[in-house]
Structure 1
Amino acid sequence: MDFEFTSEQQLLQDSLRRYVDKAYSFEARNALLKAGKNGSTDNWGLFAANGWLMAALPEAYGGLGGSLVDTVIIARELGRALVLEPFTGCGVLAAQTLLAAGTEAQKERLLPQLADGTCRIALAYSEAGSRGMPLPVTLQAERQNEGFRLTGCKSLVLGAVGATAFIVSAQIPQTPGISLLLVDADRPGLTCQALPLHDGTWVQALHFDGVEVGFDALLGEAGQGLSALRQGLANGIVALCAELIGSMEKTLEVTADYLKVRQQFGVPIGSFQALQHRMADMAAELELARSSLHVALASMANDDETTRDKTVSGCKMLICRAAKSVCGQGIQLHGGIGMTEEYLVGHYYKRAIVADLLLGSSDSHEAACAAALQVGLRA
């Protein structure tokens, strides 16, 4: 697979870099957090106007016809600024799941609204017992005369704050497999509980108490939603890993700049060999993480579903652990200032801790890799 950027992709990266460097300052981000906001509608509108929400959607549905590489470019640059707006949750997870699961009519109706930012959809799949993995699913969607009646709970829904609808995974009694349904956020019986995460961002827990939807809420065919859900999750995990790559890059840059100006014994501490070795170790971990992301991109483009999921799980496991290590080292090399809320390096570490638990923890993905390896060895 060719990982060299096209001229259009280079322009995309340059425009995003200018945006995060000039228009999305650390102070502006902190102001949003202190106000209890998970981003701003103005920023989301800017994302849509610049085409970032439509970059990886087909042209037939209002997109730009790009690829997952475009998504990675966007997510990595947004990760450098710890952008709060739910690009991964709504712009990748939900959009790609809908693209994989929906009928032609559903995609023609909904995807253009996602692309232009007029509609936000979040993917509600995780449950207390699944720990961020697609299975098991206990939420029930019982058939009624005119549709389905949903009962159960979903946890850690990314992008749920401000979402107008949710893609919900459910079990339909007497129908084998997992089904996906589109549920409006204002349906009677649906309760949304906002939950703060350690990095200051917000998710929601959804409680379905007899929520009724029509048969047209079913995305695709009943019982056939698991493959589409896995496809959406794979795209979301790759985007989240790209975001962490951006966080690690920025952490290294900020730390290197600090070591050049912080003095001890009359010289910059960056001249101390022990600290140079630690910086070299951080750079090596970052490079391994980039390589793992490239492997995942190649697998997404070329491999079957089983191989793809195993590769993406391995990518999630390695990059999340690398991000915690690199960002944690960044705090240590800054000393006391790295522990303060007013300085940015500690916020990258907080994001790495939270990202490790989103979309399945590194431990869960390690277990999934081990299980897939055992199946392969037995075959």
Structure 2
Amino acid sequence: MDFKLNEEQQMLQDTAARLVRDAYGFEQREAYRRSELGYGADFWRQLGELGLTSVSLPEAYGGFGGGVESMLVHTELGRGLCLEPYLQSVVYAGGLIAQLGSETQKDELIGALASAELQVAVAFEEPHSHYELNAVSARAEAVNGGWRLSGRKVAVIGGHSAGLILVSARVSGAERDEQGIALFLLDPTEAGVKRRVYPTADGFKACELYLDGAFVATERVLGEPGAAFAALRYQQGRAIAAQCAEAVGAMEATCELTLDYLKTRKQFGVAIGSFQVLQHRMVDMRGELDQASSMAILAACVADQPDSAERSRALAAAKYIVTRAGRFISEQCIQLHGGIGLTDEYLGSHYAKHLVMISHQFGDDDHHLQAFSQLMDVA
């Protein structure tokens, strides 16, 4: 199989890499992280102007349709530790709107997502859901002209600044039934909506969402009420593929940072990189990175295929391998750096925190190993 990029893909990767390199130095990232918004408004605008926020969206709306192109962009965003909620807004929310939305909703929203004029967050996690998309206790009650939502959502990445929040809520059935889940395009400024904003361990901003009779008009329901679970699962698979690529970018940068440190840090008058035992550990890091890169490519290749057990197995395997590799590489980075590797003033610690956080989003390694095992039984 030929893994070489074509000319168009290479240009896309170069554009993303140059933008991240020029706009996301460590000091600039820290300024973004400490700001009220939590990310770079100018950088988000530039992503839209260069067409990078349209890459994961359908070709009918000016996008690339995802796949390898999405992987290239997310790898560069991962290398830069970019704080913008690109994955949540463009890949996950954009994918759900493209899959379930009416033509009116698509015309209104996808173009705005592609140009970065609109940011949409996805609220699918609850305090006790533990990675299960069907564990939904938030409720939606039909009323005249729409629905009233009640419940609580947690870890809504980018929810503090989103113009709309896609909320999963149950219109029928028991708490863990797959049927009966609907998706609502919620205006966070509506009465009955409260957000508690907080920073995540890796520098992003998220919020908890409290719903107390928040009203959503009928035309703001995404798809058929009660039949959203399959789309949630499918689009989370696409988000997992993008996240794997983002993790690979962070791992690549971590390995480069560690190797540079081994070449410059001296002990007993020589660079510590000349010590054979440290060379072996560096080789182990690169070996894990190569495995993770291969699985990220596999995930990108299957992410936009029709839903199937084979696709789900490949994505579960990719998330498992990438998660384990990210944890290993971040731990080795800290060990090889010594005390400085844990300090907030050193870039390596921020890569480590981001890789740990990635390992717990959309399911940790144990969750995906179990999913892979169950899918093997079905095969």
Common topology (TM > 0.5): yes
**What's the counterpart of residue 129 of structure 1?**
128
**What's the counterpart of residue 83 of structure 1?**
82
Question: After superposition, what is the alpha-carbon deviation per residue over 1:252-304, rounded to whole angstroms, capped at 9, x for unaligned?
Answer: 11111111111112211111110110000000000110111122223324464
SS at match of 1:232: helix
Letter aligned with residue 30 of structure 1: E
**What's the counterpart of residue 166 of structure 1?**
165
Matches within 5 A, 1:278-357: 278-302=281-305, 304-357=307-360
CA contact (8 A) 1:190 1:208 kept: yes
CA contact (8 A) 1:189 1:210 kept: yes
Matches within 5 A, 1:227-238: 227-238=230-241
Letter aligned with residue 208 of structure 1: L
CA contact (8 A) 1:255 1:333 kept: yes
**What's the counterpart of residue 13 of structure 1?**
13
Q: CA 1:2–1:216 in structure 2 vs 1: closer, same or farther (change >3 Å)?
A: farther
Q: CA 1:57–1:88 in structure 2 vs 1: closer, same or farther (change >3 Å)?
A: same
Matches within 5 A, 1:129-168: 129-168=128-167
1:132, distance to aligned residue in structure 2 (A): 3.0
**What's the counterpart of residue 95 of structure 2?**
96
Q: CA 1:351–1:51 in structure 2 vs 1: closer, same or farther (change >3 Å)?
A: same
Q: Which stretch shows the higher mean deviation, 303-312 or 17-26? A: 303-312
1:2, distance to aligned residue in structure 2 (A): 5.3
Q: Which stretch shows the higher mean deviation, 175-184 or 355-364? A: 175-184
CA contact (8 A) 2:63 2:114 kept: no
1:103, distance to aligned residue in structure 2 (A): 1.6
**What's the counterpart of residue 4 of structure 1?**
4
Letter aligned with residue 9 of structure 2: Q
Letter aligned with residue 109 of structure 2: L
SS at match of 1:192: strand
- Is 1:183 the counterpart of 2:182? The answer is no
Q: CA 1:302–1:147 in structure 2 vs 1: closer, same or farther (change >3 Å)?
A: closer
Question: After superposition, what is the alpha-carbon deviation per residue over 1:153-206, rounded to whole angstroms, capped at 9, x for unaligned?
Answer: 111112212101111112113794321111111111011111221112211111
CA contact (8 A) 2:68 2:301 kept: no
Distance in 2 (CA, whole Å) between partners of 1:357 and 1:174 is 28
**What's the counterpart of residue 54 of structure 1?**
54
For structure 2, the residue ranges without an aligned partner over 5 or more in a row are none
Distance in 2 (CA, whole Å) between partners of 1:302 and 1:185 is 33
1:225, distance to aligned residue in structure 2 (A): 1.0
Aligned Cα root-mean-square deviation (Å): 1.8
Q: Which stretch shows the higher mean deviation, 14-23 or 326-335? A: 14-23
SS at match of 1:28: helix
**What's the counterpart of residue 219 of structure 1?**
222
Distance in 2 (CA, whole Å) between partners of 1:283 and 1:105 is 48
SS at match of 2:53: coil
1:37, distance to aligned residue in structure 2 (A): 4.0
**What's the counterpart of residue 254 of structure 2?**
251
Q: CA 1:183–1:301 in structure 2 vs 1: closer, same or farther (change >3 Å)?
A: closer
CA contact (8 A) 1:331 1:339 kept: yes
- Is 1:277 the counterpart of 2:280? The answer is yes
1:142, distance to aligned residue in structure 2 (A): 1.1
SS at match of 1:357: coil
**What's the counterpart of residue 63 of structure 2?**
64
Distance in 2 (CA, whole Å) between partners of 1:372 and 1:140 is 30
Q: CA 1:37–1:342 in structure 2 vs 1: closer, same or farther (change >3 Å)?
A: farther
CA contact (8 A) 2:16 2:52 kept: no
- Is 1:204 the counterpart of 2:207? The answer is yes
Q: Which stretch shows the higher mean deviation, 271-280 or 362-371? A: 362-371
CA contact (8 A) 1:197 1:203 kept: yes
CA contact (8 A) 1:90 1:158 kept: no
1:89, distance to aligned residue in structure 2 (A): 1.3
**What's the counterpart of residue 39 of structure 1?**
39
Question: After superposition, what is the alpha-carbon deviation per residue over 1:120-155, rounded to whole angstroms, capped at 9, x for unaligned?
Answer: 111111112222331211111111121111111111
> Given the alignment, which residue of 356, 373, 377 partners 2:376?
373
Distance in 2 (CA, whole Å) between partners of 1:112 and 1:297 is 23
Question: After superposition, what is the alpha-carbon deviation per residue over 1:24-57, rounded to whole angstroms, capped at 9, x for unaligned?
Answer: 1011111222335420211110110111111122
Distance in 1 (CA, whole Å) between partners of 2:234 and 2:157 is 16
Distance in 1 (CA, whole Å) between partners of 2:312 and 2:77 is 25
Distance in 2 (CA, whole Å) between partners of 1:206 and 1:313 is 28
Q: Which stretch shows the higher mean deviation, 274-283 or 83-92? A: 83-92
Q: Which stretch shows the higher mean deviation, 93-102 or 276-285? A: 93-102
Question: After superposition, what is the alpha-carbon deviation per residue over 1:34-93, rounded to whole angstroms, capped at 9, x for unaligned?
Answer: 3354202111101101111111223432x2334321111111101111011111111211
SS at match of 2:195: strand
SS at match of 1:134: coil
Q: CA 1:286–1:217 in structure 2 vs 1: closer, same or farther (change >3 Å)?
A: same
> So what's the TM-score if we normalise by structure 1?
0.94
- Is 1:261 the counterpart of 2:264? The answer is yes
Of all paired residues, the percent bearing the same amino acid is 39
